[in-house]
Amino acid sequence: MECCCLTVCVGTVALLFALLWWFVRALNRSSFWVLMWNVFIIEQLRNKFTQTTRPQRILKAVQKNATKGDPDSVISAIDHYCKHSEWAMNVGDEKGSILDSVVSEVNPSTVLELGTYCGYSAVRIARLLSPGSKLITVEFNPAIAAIAKQIIAYAGIQDKVTLVEGSSGDLIPKMKECFGITSFDFIFLDHWKDRYVPDTKLLEECGLLRKGTVLLADNVICPGAPEYLKYIRNNRRYESRYYPAHLEYTKVEDGLEKSIFLG
């Protein structure tokens, strides 16, 4: 009897989950609140019922659908999973194309990425770098960093990427000493938005910006980085341009801010 009750309960919960998922998928994803529903409700239900995390599920999708050693295949596998199965906070395909164009334009030898997450943007950037170039990517969460390392290795670009775990505020002052970096040619900001301004100032103070260094900041509209935009656009040491786009895998307004350090 107890076994039957348990089966009914599990079945009911599973059915409710399926109905919730169908409801969210049926809604127009232009709504920011639908996105929040996905992140805070659907994701938690998935975590509980699958006993996995979203980064682990992204890794599994890569291993199942991407070709090992092919970074473009890895990018496509993540994009497909995040469009059709589960939203994730990668830079995404639309803004990723803007990121690609800026990286190709700059052709950097030294790159700093603040906020690795699952390694999606690190793969996008590294695949465009010339031989001998160096990308240092910083991730605060050790569990997510472990997933990112596997995805980066699966893409076959691990020789170009150094993933460092820890706080950006602690690591930026150690860049010259630990990695022999004189300055960075390109910096991609995609971590906590309230760290954009203090970390930019820290990069300035540590002498890690040279004349011509390009900073590209993601999510300046959604969830937004108003203090960063105020700082960078009203600073005579920078020349800035805004690239309008949409939040990854949605129709929610977002954009990237490209800023050139003038010295």
Tell me, yes or no, whether 152 lies in a domain: yes
**Would 5 be classed as within a structural domain?**
no
**Contact by Cβ (8 Å): 247, 219:** yes
Kindly give, in sequence order, each residue whose CB lies less than 8 Å from that of residue 133, ignoring residues fewer than 6 positions away: 108, 109, 110, 111, 160
Residue 135 lies in a domain: yes
Main-chain dihedrals φ then ψ at residue 248, nearest 5 degrees: -45, 125
Q: Are 252 and 32 in contact (CB under 8 A)?
A: yes
- Pairing between β-strand 184-189 and β-strand 161-165 as defined by DSSP bridges: unpaired
Full residue range of the structural domain in which residue 205 is found = 92-261
Short-list 258, 261, 262, 255, CA closest to 94:
255
Total domains, the chain: 1
Tell me if 85 is assigned to some domain: no
Considering 86, 185, 218, 254, which one is annotated as catalytic?
A: 218
Q: Tell me the CATH number at 206.
A: 3.40.50.150
Model confidence pLDDT, tens digit, residues 198-232: 999 999 999 999 999 999 999 999 999 999 999 99
Single out the catalytic residue among 86, 93, 113, 190: 190
Residue 228 lies in a domain: yes
- Identify whether 154 is part of a domain: yes
pTM for the whole structure: 0.86
pLDDT higher than 80, residue 39: no
pLDDT of 260 higher than 60: yes
In a domain, 4, yes or no: no
Q: Tell me whether residue 251 is one of the annotated catalytic residues.
A: no
Rounded-to-integer distance, Cα 153 and Cα 167, Å: 23
Region 108-118 average pLDDT:
98
Annotated binding-site ranges for Mg(2+): 190, 218-219
Q: Which residues, in sequence order, are CB contacts of 242 under 8 Å at separation 6+?
A: 220, 255, 256, 257, 258
Measured distance CA(123)–CA(204) in Å, rounded = 26
Annotated catalytic, 219? yes
